[in-house]
């Protein structure tokens, strides 16, 4: 482990001179930047800095690199793997001043944006021009696009449109030594050297600080249809997922929710719009989108036909935008509802989608063995299952001492199924202890080697990923 220098009074003086009121050591600020949305984790930085230009980021990094002060880039702190926690103190570098959309290029279907723009703000701005940036994590109303790039975020639309990395064309990055580079070019295809762009995507703020982002956009679909399907068996619901794709249909959303995920969220939101019957074990929320309403009706009919092979209760077809919004709000609030309900731990497993039923069985079996219950939901069309392990009746001692063994057992099964630890939340702090399961020591050494190329002194977001 690296040991870093504390931020001294003279360091603070330097930062204050550079940033004026955008340098803060108030307890309120230190507290605010001490955590993200990951359960039960908080480490105070020594100072919070809010640069507003790549040059300022460069000066800060260069200064800290020379003085061996560690720097944790901080976005909107909506992360779920602890990537933004300033584990070793030092500087928390907030990107919130990078909040400008620089150029919506309608001619080329691209947008150039600063990295601290809220994802939904970006989506709405390009939508006004008829353009679409699809990746839409549940936190889209507050998360930053730079954080999305750093975690290779997904969201419900990924099943049809792909995750963040398929949209990132080019990045302006400040390296730990202060050098500013562009990683690629503003083009749709690129065979020009190693893809530094793709390497930055998902690197969780450990290789450089992303200041500008060029994204590919596509025409915004004009219509969508949404249905909610109750199943009597969660396994059956998972099986239906692969069956829909095998029928040649690609929904724009295919979300799975176990019973408790839905009912807890209803309670959390005080929402009674959906009746969940006693014998409903799970629901699929299925969306299709496109440009031709008639075609979408056909697709929904095809999906309904596929679902006739499964035991389902009455399907709900959303009849208004308001009803669609309600259904999506329910889905998007599951994470918060689970959080509000109980002590829990969330895993972000991903497997080939046909293996979902097996994954679900493993979750329940391991839960029985170790004495925890679980609430599962997620982007089933992508094989991405968010597993919320609920403390419930489990003793503190078991929770503290045995849970990581149980999770290790679970991840081992996930990897056997062809899957891996995280589909969209990243490794950050909380999953790094499991990286030996999907990766050999050789692969981990390659990753550490890459880290060392970008950040030889290891000052940038130390203690994350591995």
Is the CB of 291 or the CB of 317 nearer to its own copies? 291
Mask of contacts with its own copies, 2-41, x by CB under 8 A?
Answer: ----------------------------------------
**Is residue 233 within 8 Å of 282, Cβ to Cβ?**
yes
Site for its own copies in 183-222 (CB under 8 A): 183-196, 198-199, 201-203, 207, 218-219
For 96, phi then psi, to 5°, come to -65, -20
The interface region with its own copies, picked from 4-12, 57-65, 229-237, 434-442 by CB under 8 A, is 434-442
Alpha-carbon span 48 to 52, nearest angstrom? 13
For the CB of residue 245, give the shortest distance to its own copies in the complex, in Å.
6
For its own copies, the closer of residues 331 and 353 by Cβ is 353
Nearest residue to 211 (alpha-carbon basis) of 53, 91, 333: 53
How many Å apart are CA 306 and CA 315, to the nearest integer? 13
For every residue of 167-203, DSSP letters joined together read TEEEEEEE-TTS-EEE-S-S-S---SSS-HHHHHTT-
Q: How far is it, in rounded angstroms, from Cα 82 to Cα 102? A: 29
- Using CB under 8 A, which residues numbered 59 to 118 contact its own copies? 105-110
Nearer to its own copies, 37 or 382 (CB): 382
When asked if residue 301 is in the footprint of its own copies (CB under 8 A), the reply is no
Dihedral angle computed from the Cα positions of residues 354, 358, 360 and 362, in that order, rounded to the nearest 10 degrees: -150
Per CB under 8 A, contacts with its own copies among 248-267 are: 248, 250
Binding of residue 306 to its own copies (CB under 8 A): no
Q: Determine if 179 is a binding residue for its own copies (CB under 8 A).
A: yes
**Window 340 to 359, contacts with its own copies (CB under 8 A):** 348, 350-355
* Number of residues this chain uses to bind its own copies (CB under 8 A): 91
422 lines the binding site for its own copies (CB under 8 A): yes
> In this complex, which beta carbon is closest to its own copies, that of residue 86 or of residue 137?
137
Contact status: 121 vs its own copies (CB under 8 A): no
Question: How far apart (Å, rounded) are the C-alpha atoms in residues 35 and 56?
Answer: 24
Does 466 help bind its own copies (rule: CB under 8 A)?
yes
**Which position among 224, 435, 436, 457 is part of the footprint of its own copies (CB under 8 A)?**
435
User: Distance between CA atoms of 136 and 141, rounded to whole angstroms?
Assistant: 9
433: contact with its own copies by CB under 8 A: no
Of 331 and 451, which has the nearer Cβ to its own copies?
Answer: 451
Residue 385: strand, helix, or coil: strand
Shorter beta-carbon distance to its own copies: residue 254 or 282: 254
Please enumerate in sequence order all residues whose Cβ is within 8 A of that of 444, keeping only pairs 6 or more positions apart, or say none. 435, 436, 466
List, in order, residues 6 or more apart from 383 with CB less than 8 Å away. Answer: 350, 351, 352, 353, 354, 355, 356, 419, 423
Interaction of residue 416 with its own copies, rule CB under 8 A: no
Q: If binding is defined by CB under 8 A, does position 380 make contact with its own copies? A: no
The arrangement of strands across the sheet holding 71-74 comes to 23-24, 47-49, 91-94, 71-74
Here's the x/- map for its own copies, 269-288, by CB under 8 A: it reads as --------------------
Look at residues 144, 165, 204 and name the one whose alpha carbon lies nearest to residue 455: 204
Closest separation in Å from C-beta 132 to its own copies = 10
Q: Identify the residue among 61, 421, 429, 430 touching its own copies (CB under 8 A).
A: 421
161 binds its own copies (CB under 8 A): no
């Amino acid at each position: 482990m690296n040991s870093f220098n504390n931020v001294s009074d003279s360091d603070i003086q330097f930062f204050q001179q550079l940033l004026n009121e955008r340098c803060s050591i108030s307890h309120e600020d230190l507290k605010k930047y001490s955590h993200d949305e990951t359960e039960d984790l908080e480490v105070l930085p020594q100072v919070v800095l809010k640069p507003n230009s790549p040059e300022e980021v460069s000066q800060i990094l260069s200064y800290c690199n020379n003085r061996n002060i560690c720097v944790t880039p901080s976005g909107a702190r909506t992360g779920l793997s602890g990537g933004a926690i300033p584990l070793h103190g030092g500087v928390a570098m907030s990107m919130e001043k990078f909040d400008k959309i620089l150029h919506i290029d309608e001619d080329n279907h691209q947008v150039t944006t600063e990295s601290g723009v809220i994802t939904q703000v970006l989506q709405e701005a390009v939508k006004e021009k008829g353009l679409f940036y699809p990746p839409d994590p549940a936190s889209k109303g507050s998360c930053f696009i730079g954080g999305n790039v750093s975690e290779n975020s997904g969201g419900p639309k990924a099943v049809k449109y792909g995750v963040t990395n398929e949209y990132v064309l080019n990045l302006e990055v400040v390296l730990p030594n202060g050098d500013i580079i562009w990683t690629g070019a503003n083009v749709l295809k690129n065979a020009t050297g190693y893809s530094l762009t793709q390497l930055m995507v998902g690197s969780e703020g450990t290789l450089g600080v992303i200041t500008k982002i060029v994204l590919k956009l596509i025409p915004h679909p004009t219509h969508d249809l949404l249905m909610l399907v109750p199943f009597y068996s969660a396994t059956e619901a998972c099986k239906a997922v692969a069956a829909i794709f095998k029928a040649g249909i690609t929904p724009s959303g295919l979300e799975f929710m176990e019973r408790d995920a839905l009912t807890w969220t209803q309670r959390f939101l005080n929402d009674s719009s959906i009746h969940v019957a006693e014998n409903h074990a799970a629901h699929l929320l299925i969306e299709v989108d496109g440009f031709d309403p008639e075609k979408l009706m056909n697709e929904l009919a095809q999906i309904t036909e596929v679902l006739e092979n499964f035991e389902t209760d009455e399907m709900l077809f959303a009849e208004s935008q308001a009803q669609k919004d309600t259904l999506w709000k329910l889905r998007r609030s599951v994470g918060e509802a689970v959080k509000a309900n109980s002590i829990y731990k969330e895993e972000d497993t991903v497997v080939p989608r046909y293996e979902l039923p097996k994954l679900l069985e493993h979750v329940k079996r391991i839960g029985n063995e170790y004495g925890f219950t679980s609430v599962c939901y997620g982007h089933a069309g992508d094989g991405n299952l968010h597993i919320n392990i609920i403390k419930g009746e489990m003793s503190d001692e078991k929770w503290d001492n045995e849970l990581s063994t149980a999770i290790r057992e679970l991840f081992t099964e996930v990897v056997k199924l062809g899957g891996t630890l995280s589909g969209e939340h990243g490794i950050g702090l909380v999953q790094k202890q499991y990286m030996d399961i999907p990766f050999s020591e050789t692969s981990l050494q390659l990753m550490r080697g890459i880290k060392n190329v970008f950040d030889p002194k290891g000052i940038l977001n130390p203690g994350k990923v591995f």
